[in-house]
């Protein structure tokens, strides 16, 4: 795969906010959710324009599943389709490795456009990792791919709810087997992660003085070393180093008790050590309205908090709430980025 030229921040655009939306796995719910979300674009997103990347016939077909007149949307809303042809015909819910590279072509087009300043942000519908790997392209996930394509040495996955004081959970490690997590944690790596969270909450979310609560890795945050030493040897030194740089990061706290309203009410983000430590709580609280944001990139990228939902594809029963929230957040982040 070819990397984009630089990890320098993308040029800032003038004029209306312009958002690219990748429709993701064609056998999943991405195409129909895109149609459903954009059917009400004028009501949700003032002065924003949308470029939908995907197969135009597929979009029209799947819009019918959610009772959306796609031609009317294109005629009346600030929405245009940039056609990218499928490699093979699609049946809802039926994966085909022949379309793995099609999915990557959508993502590559969005990334290249955002890096060049053509788009203010990109929103990605869910894709199927197995289809891309079956097409012969090693692929771990959106987050890692975006980092590689933009030459960004470190990015941070953050999922978030919506509302005036949303729950936000960032991850110190992402798509790793649990057995590999301890070795992936380092003082320098955690400091870099905290720096990215602090910077992006200020720049893209308008949080003036971010407060970050950090979990331990082990049960009871290691119980003073009796249940593991990562809290003593890695996490606490990282917090001290971050504090010396003016970052308000506190912990390490036991993860089993941290996620309570009385602890979270003054927090802007929680940093969890691994995927299934932080995200179950977040998804329990926000599923269907939560979003995924990649921090640390030179571009703005948001996504949904769910997968391809192959069992719902083409049925009209999938909920577009998370995609609507992802678009809301992308528009808001792009506006903050223009003034910060």
pLDDT of residue 194: 99
265 annotated to bind ligand = no
Q: Which carries the bigger pLDDT value, residue 235 or residue 16?
A: 235
Same fold, 1-152+297-340 and 155-296: yes
Decide which of 3.90.1150.10, 3.20.20.150, 3.40.718.10, 3.100.10.10 is the CATH code for 1-152+297-340: 3.40.718.10
Instruction: Indicate the range of 5-14, 213-222, 309-318, 329-338 predicted with least confidence.
Output: 5-14
pLDDT of residue 311: 97
Confirm if 206 and 227 have CB atoms less than 8 A apart. no
pLDDT surpassing 80 at residue 164: no
124 annotated to bind ligand = no
* Confidence band for 77, pLDDT divided at 50, 70 and 90: confident
151 annotated to bind ligand = no
For residues 196-200, give the mean pLDDT: 98
pLDDT in tens, 263-309: 999 999 999 999 999 999 998 988 888 999 999 999 999 999 999 99
pLDDT of residue 339: 83
Crossing angle for the helix pair 187-205 and 236-244, to the nearest 10 degrees = 50
2 annotated to bind ligand = no
336 annotated to bind ligand = no
Largest CA distance in the chain: 65
pLDDT of residue 5: 46
Express as a percent the part of the chain with pLDDT over 70.
Answer: 96
CATH number of 155-296: 3.40.718.10
pLDDT surpassing 60 at residue 90: yes
**Averaged confidence pLDDT in the chain:** 94
Domain boundaries, the chain: 1-152+297-340, 155-296
Confirm if 324 and 48 have CB atoms less than 8 A apart. no
83 annotated to bind ligand = no
pLDDT in tens, 242-264: 999 999 999 999 999 999 999 99
pLDDT of residue 42: 64
283 annotated to bind ligand = yes
C-alpha span between 61 and 14 (Å, rounded): 34
For residues 308-334, give the mean pLDDT: 95
Retrieve residue 218's tokens: 């082990």
């Amino acid at each position: 795969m070819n990397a984009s030229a630089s990890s320098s921040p993308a040029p800032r655009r003038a004029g209306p906010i312009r958002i690219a939306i990748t429709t993701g796995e064609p056998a999943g719910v991405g195409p129909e959710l895109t149609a459903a979300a954009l059917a009400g674009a004028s009501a949700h997103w003032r002065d924003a324009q949308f470029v939908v990347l995907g197969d135009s016939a597929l979009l029209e077909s799947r819009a019918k599943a959610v009772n959306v007149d796609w031609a009317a949307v294109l005629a009346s809303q600030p929405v245009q389709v940039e056609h990218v042809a499928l490699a093979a015909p699609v049946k809802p819910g039926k994966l085909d490795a022949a379309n793995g590279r099609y999915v990557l072509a959508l993502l590559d087009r969005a990334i290249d456009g955002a890096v060049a300043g053509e788009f203010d942000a990109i929103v990605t519908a869910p894709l199927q990792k197995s289809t891309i790997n079956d097409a012969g392209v090693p692929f771990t996930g959106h987050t890692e791919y975006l980092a590689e394509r933009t030459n960004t040495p470190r990015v941070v996955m953050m999922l978030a709810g919506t509302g005036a004081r949303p729950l936000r959970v960032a991850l110190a490690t992402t798509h790793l087997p649990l057995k590999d997590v301890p070795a992936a944690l380092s003082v320098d790596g955690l400091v870099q992660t905290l720096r990215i969270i602090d910077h992006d909450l200020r720049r893209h979310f308008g949080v003036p003085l971010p407060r970050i609560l950090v979990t331990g890795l082990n049960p009871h945050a290691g119980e003073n070393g009796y249940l593991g030493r990562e809290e003593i040897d890695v996490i606490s030194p990282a917090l001290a180093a971050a504090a010396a740089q003016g970052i308000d990061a506190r912990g390490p706290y036991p993860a089993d008790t941290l996620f309570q309203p009385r602890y979270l009410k003054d927090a802007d983000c929680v940093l969890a050590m691994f995927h299934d430590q932080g995200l179950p709580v977040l998804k329990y609280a926000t599923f269907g309205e939560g979003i995924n944001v990649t921090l640390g990139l030179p571009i703005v990228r948001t996504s949904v908090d769910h997968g391809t939902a192959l069992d719902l594809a083409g049925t009209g029963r999938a909920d577009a709430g998370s995609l609507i929230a992802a678009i809301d957040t992308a528009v808001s982040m792009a506006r903050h980025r223009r003034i910060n």
